[in-house]
Amino acid sequence: MHEPAVPHLTAADPEIANLVQAEAQRQHDKIRMIASENYVSTAVLEATGTVFTNKYSEGYAGKRYYEGQQVVDQLERLAIDRAKSLFGAEHANVQPYSGSPANLAVYLAFMNPGDTVLSMELAHGGHLTHGSPVSATGKWFRPTHYGVRKETGRVDMDDVREIALRERPKMIIAGGTAIPRTIEFAAFAEIAKEVGAILLADMAHIAGLVAGGAHPTPFGHADVVSTTTHKTLRGPRGAMLFSTEEHAKAIDKAVFPGLQGGPHNHTTAAIAVALAEAARPDFKDYAAGVVANAKALAAALTERGFDLVSGGTDNHLLLVDLTNKAVTGKVAAKALDAAGIELNFNAVPFDPRRPFDPSGLRLGSAAITTRGLTTAHMPQIAAWIERAVTAAGRGPLDDADVAKDLDTVAGEVRDLLGGFPMPGYTA
Ligand SMILES: *Cc1c(COP(=O)(O)O)cnc(C)c1O
């Protein structure tokens, strides 16, 4: 059952209420290893479902366009103070609707159409908003990219510098969605300074690790930092932008009125709750646990013959190259989902296959660590992953024999997870 309970919804709209219950059950019963996902606390869930959703508050605290901001101004100021204090930032904007619009606001603040941006290649772990040709950022600006070295699976900062000197970007973006290794913010900052570029650190994936001291901070290095709030940071779906005092006005103007209308105040409330949680000492343990689990899982998978891009991980994320296995990323991901292990297929660097059926899998340890799983559980998870991938290699997933194997694993997964309460769900 969903927690908090939803009696009014159940009475008013049983169809939707049933879907809420089904999703709570599904999240409870599966090992959730999509690297960008997590479980928020029940307090964060409660904060998202409040009357703050009724309020329009275009503008910023003390300077709004509608009346009735007595409480919302307090809320947004509190969220901003918590955000600045958690990360040691000079300026914070908590209004971006999500990570993609937050990044677009940064382009709007610093770039003109046609200007050059230098970022991580999408296929090597960058994000769509880092100038992919299918994204507005790739259509309106001139993207150039760095990537990882084939031999190491890691970004070589000498390569980044060389490309930056050649392309003279107006903005450099450090960060991405599928980077299993530490991002060298200080080295990026040096290069940005050398070529006179704005440095945007997109810490969407690792914000919780940065907050918990498990990844080096971009603050003090980057001009602007963007992040989602719902990945390792364990807040509601949303985003924040940070900058030095120098760029504060440009960032705020780009978010509103540049790109957005009224902020989602119910989300701001939940972000504030998540920020307070992330400032507590136990969040340091959480962040350390996330990395420890990822490293233990990497070791256990390697032992079973899985090939990891870059040979392992420094953070919450693993990229598995299945080229030496009998199945592609998409087939493996579907088999694992049927086996109760939820993750996503993903391109690996230099992938010869197409993005919709690539060679790899991306796994993350943020949600399972919230759930309470520890390094002691990782060998078991690796064993299940191997069983499911091996089963999928024997034949189509609807083959009775294959399906039976996957179903057996899903049952074992459910048995394990029964011992680990999930915030947002009560048995
Ligand atoms: C997730 C992510 C985003 C986009 O966030 P959305 O909330 O999905 O729009 C941007 N950049 C990076 C690096 C991300 O991982």
Instruction: List, for residues 62-111, the tens digit of each pLDDT value.
Output: 999 999 999 999 999 999 999 999 999 999 999 999 999 999 999 999 99
Q: Is the Cβ atom of 119 under 6 angstroms away from ligand 1?
A: no
- Per-residue model confidence (pLDDT) at position 74: 98
d(CA 57, CA 17): 30
Contacts of 410 (CB under 8 A, 6+ apart): 29, 338, 339, 340
* Averaged pLDDT for residues 288-302: 98
Measured CA to CA in angstroms, residue 102 lies from 78, 93, 111, 241 at distances of 20, 10, 14, 7
Question: Quick check: is 58 catalytic?
Answer: yes
- Per-residue model confidence (pLDDT) at position 355: 84
Mean residue pLDDT of the chain comes to: 97
Which ligand 1 atom minimizes the distance to the CA of 239? 7
Q: Is the Cβ atom of 182 under 6 angstroms away from ligand 1?
A: no
* Averaged pLDDT for residues 390-409: 95
127 assigned binding-site residue: yes
Which ligand 1 atom minimizes the distance to the CA of 99? 5
Instruction: Examine the pLDDT at 178 and tell me if it is beyond 90.
Output: yes
d(CA 137, CA 18): 38
User: Phi-psi bin for 308: left (phi > 0), alpha (psi -120 to 50), beta?
Assistant: beta
pTM beyond 0.95: the answer is yes
To test ligand 1's pocket by mutation, which of 94, 106, 129 has the most ligand atoms within 8 angstroms of CB? Answer: 129
Q: Which of 198-207, 335-344, 353-362 has the lowest mean pLDDT?
A: 353-362
Residues 19-67 pLDDT 10s: 999 999 999 999 999 999 999 999 999 999 999 999 999 999 999 999 9
* Averaged pLDDT for residues 219-235: 98
Indicate the burial class of 12 (C-beta count within 10 angstroms; 0-12, 13-18, 19 or more): exposed
Residues 123-151 pLDDT 10s: 999 999 999 999 999 999 999 999 999 99
Q: Is 403 helix (H, G, I), strand (E, B) or coil?
A: helix
To test ligand 1's pocket by mutation, which of 122, 127, 205 has the most ligand atoms within 8 angstroms of CB? Answer: 127
Instruction: Examine the pLDDT at 187 and tell me if it is beyond 90.
Output: yes
Q: What are phi and psi of 304, to 5 degrees?
A: -90, 15
- Per-residue model confidence (pLDDT) at position 29: 97
- Per-residue model confidence (pLDDT) at position 92: 98
Report the separation in Å between the CA atom of 228 and the middle of ligand 1, taken as the mean of its atom positions.
6
Question: Quick check: is 60 catalytic?
Answer: no
Instruction: Examine the pLDDT at 369 and tell me if it is beyond 90.
Output: yes
With pLDDT > 70 as the criterion, what percentage of the chain qualifies? 100
Question: Quick check: is 56 catalytic?
Answer: yes
Sign of CA dihedral 171, 176, 179, 184: positive
Q: Furthest-apart CA pair in the chain: how many Å?
A: 65
Q: Is the Cβ atom of 135 under 6 angstroms away from ligand 1?
A: no
* Averaged pLDDT for residues 277-300: 98
Instruction: Examine the pLDDT at 16 and tell me if it is beyond 90.
Output: yes
Q: Which amino acid is at 164?
A: A
Band (258; pLDDT cuts 50, 70, 90): very high
Q: Which two tokens stand for residue 225?
A: 């930092």
Q: Is the Cβ atom of 229 under 6 angstroms away from ligand 1?
A: no
- Per-residue model confidence (pLDDT) at position 362: 98
d(CA 129, CA 36): 16
Contact 261, 194 (CB under 8 A): no
* Residue 416 CB neighbour total at 10 angstroms: 15
User: What count of Cα atoms within 13 Å lies in the side-chain half-sphere of residue 8?
Assistant: 2
Contact 278, 212 (CB under 8 A): yes
Q: Is the Cβ atom of 128 under 6 angstroms away from ligand 1?
A: no
126 assigned binding-site residue: yes
Q: Strand (E) positions, 197-286?
A: 198-202, 224-228, 239-243
Contact 337, 136 (CB under 8 A): no
Q: Is the Cβ atom of 37 under 6 angstroms away from ligand 1?
A: no
Q: Of the candidates 282, 268, 227, 214, which has an alpha carbon nearest to the alpha carbon of residue 81? A: 268
